[in-house]
Amino acid sequence: MSSFIALPQGLKEEIFARAIREYRSLLGENKVRTDQASLQPYMRTTIAENGTSRKPSAVIYPSAPNDIQRIVKIANKFKTPLWTYYGGENEGYGGATPATNGQIVLDLKNMKKVIEVDKELGYCLVEPGVTYGELQQYLKNNKIDLWLDAPASAAGMSVVGNILERGAGYTPYSEDFLFSCGMEVVLADGNLFRTGMGGIPKSTSWQVFKWGFGPYVDGLFSQGNNGIVTKLGTWLMGAPPPGGYMPFCIKFPKVEMISEIIKPLMFLRETQIVPNAAALVNAGWEAATVFSANGKSNGSFVRNGGGPVPTKKLMDSYRVGAWNLYGAVYGSPEQVALNWMYVSGTFKQAFGNKIQIITEKEAKGDPVFEYRKQLMMGGVTQQNPLDKWRAGGGSMLFCPTAAARPAECAQQVKVATEIINRHGFDYLSEFSFFWRDARHVMDLRFNNADPAESKRAYKCYDELVGSFIKHGWAINRTNTAFMNKVSDSYGPAMARLNRTIKKALDPNNILAPGKSGITLG
């Protein structure tokens, strides 16, 4: 019987034990752990599995880029794969658990330096262990009037990790990877290099000009396994002047209205009258947020398991719309007033008195409105409001992309609702509208402690993936259990290219094999 919880695939125990001794000689006993208690957090997952084991063999805690350079040299020597974990960015996508059994988790949480925040040009440079909560506190402590762009429940989430996973927030800077600028990366051979303008000695423009010279390579390290990012720059939004930010919510009474909502909304987005990633939240997601904020429903119904709840019942019990649109206008006070007249007038003209328009004045401190208000100004929230909605802690985020066309979004809603409800779960969704696309995020909530329910959830997610691929709706992010299936959907040419790059940069296949379906094994 092995003295380790798991072993890397194909590696004998005595070889692995020698590797662990070398890692400990480099970093110390406390920074290289193989015991059950230390590995337990990295085996905790919110996703439903299909009998697959994904146990880590060890966890390593580097403190500096040169630690990582020496770690990858040992990994190459003994062929011990390293699953890089930046911290918090994988909630709903599998947690810190590696894609394949026996990988060593390389946890970068101790690399916590806020290296620079430039007030004049509005950018920062951070290490991967810095969370959104810590960066926000840094700005507050130093009286820096810049806004973050943070996803929901981001207080404990790595800024670097979320950006590399191409996560998004709700401000006008919502496309987070687009607003990143300059990386420092350790490659699989131990060499360290900087992207963009970072290779120039004493560069003054590393965090202000993304492209550098020659091919743009930063994308190789997003949702990938070609290197380990040790520093990353990102742009921050200048806070508007007093009176220059106005959040709003519009509630719509019928699910079928989605097509009618999207047409005027996309006009407002494309013209930048509404410049942020407006969120269109369905009754289930909004009801869960109300329940989390208030601890109870406004009516008589409280969610306590069982099959899917009808939309009408959710609307009546929680006083939510079938769809709930959250957006904001930004600028000078005069611009805000003018643009708000245009936004409210556009929707009043389209829907008349069928809709309910809410601003801060009408919200009167409502915690759900306040939650969305904070998100759209880059505020960092603590808890995912859906966490209390269903017992058992199971969560699998399904994230396909739609072209932001009314008919396509409506069809996605119809297909997803039918599949999810048929498997016995609630359709909980949020569309976020970016430049020309709509990210249709669904949170499949289930009881992970119930084997039968977990099995149903796995089948449900599997059917969603297959059905959406058949419709031509690409999935832009997924959990470890479905990375291979999603990767395959992008075709053999993409797979060959990813494998060719992987083989050139990481011939020993030591960096997160299986990440995004990419491996040499």
Answer whether residue 390 is part of any domain: yes
User: Is residue 497 a part of any domain in this protein?
Assistant: no
Structure confidence at residue 302 as a pLDDT band (50, 70, 90): very low
Does the pLDDT at position 10 exceed 60? yes
b/e per residue, 375-410, with b = 16+ CB within 10 A?
bbbbbbbeebbbbebbebebbbbbbbbbebbbebbb
- Identify the three-state secondary structure at position 346: helix
Q: Domain check: are 93 and 143 in the same one?
A: no
**According to the model, what pLDDT value does residue 296 have?**
58
CATH of the domain at 60: 3.30.43.10
CATH number, position 374: 3.40.462.10
Residue 303: predicted pLDDT: 55
364 and 394 within one domain: yes
81 with 128, same domain: the answer is: no
What's the pLDDT band for 230 if we cut at 50, 70, 90? very high
What value does the mean pLDDT take over residues 189-214?
96
Confidence of residue 284 (pLDDT cuts 50, 70, 90): very high
Residue 298 has pLDDT above 50, yes or no: no
Among 109, 124, 142, identify where a domain stops.
Answer: 109
Look at residue 87 and tell me whether its pLDDT is greater than 90.
no
Question: Of 199, 217, 238, which residue constitutes the final position of a domain?
Answer: 238
Please choose, from the candidates 166, 269, 11, the residue with its C-alpha nearest in 3D space to the C-alpha of residue 476: 166
When pLDDT is cut at 50, 70 and 90, the band that residue 389 belongs to is confident
Average pLDDT over the chain reads 94
Q: Examine the domain organization and report whether 201 and 137 are in the same domain.
A: yes
Q: Which range is least confidently modeled, 261-270, 302-311, 473-482?
A: 302-311
Q: Is residue 488 part of a domain?
A: no
Tell whether the model's pLDDT for residue 297 goes beyond 80: no
Query: What per-residue confidence (pLDDT) applies to 153?
Result: 86
Q: What is the three-class DSSP state of 83?
A: strand
Question: Does residue 174 or residue 88 have the better pLDDT?
Answer: 174
For residue 358, CA distances in Å to 129, 242, 291, 329, 382 come to: 38, 20, 19, 14, 24
pLDDT value at residue 304: 53
Instruction: Output the CA–CA distances (angstroms, integers) from residue 208 to 49, 120, 122, 179, 185, in the order listed.
Output: 43, 11, 9, 10, 18
276-288 mean pLDDT: 97
Q: How many domains does the chain have?
A: 3
Boundary of a domain, candidates 51, 77, 109: 109
Residue 210 and residue 181 in contact, taking contact as beta carbons nearer than 8 Å: yes
Name the pTM for this structure. 0.95
- Same domain assignment for residues 378 and 345: yes
At 295 the pLDDT is 67
- 521 inside domain: no
Is 222 part of a structural domain of the chain? yes
SS3 155: coil
Distance CA 284, CA 428 (A): 5
Query: 17 and 72 share a domain?
Result: yes
Same domain, 203 and 86: no
State the Cα–Cα distance between residues 480 and 90, nearest whole angstrom: 10
**Segments forming the whole domain that contains residue 470:** 245-478
Q: Are 118 and 173 found together in one domain?
A: yes
Amino acid letter, 384 = N
| CA 262 – CA 278 distance, rounded (Å) | 11
Q: Where are the beta strands (DSSP E) in 172-226?
A: 180-187, 192-194
Distance CA 262, CA 434 (A): 12
pLDDT of residue 89: 66
State the alpha helices, DSSP H only, in 271-387.
283-294, 311-318, 333-351, 360-363, 367-376
Mean per-residue pLDDT, 301-321: 82
What's the pLDDT score for residue 413?
98
Domain identity same for 66 and 187? no
Q: Are 311 and 225 in the same domain?
A: no
118 and 150 housed in the same domain: yes
Q: Please check whether residues 104 and 120 belong to one and the same domain.
A: no
Mean pLDDT confidence for 231-247: 98
Judge whether 67 lies within some domain: yes
Q: Does residue 201 lie in a domain region? A: yes
pLDDT score for 95: 78
Instruction: Give the DSSP H/E element, type plus range, for residue 48.
Output: none
- Residue 338 to residues 335, 348, 398, Cα–Cα distance (Å): 5, 15, 37
* Residue type, position 492, single letter: P
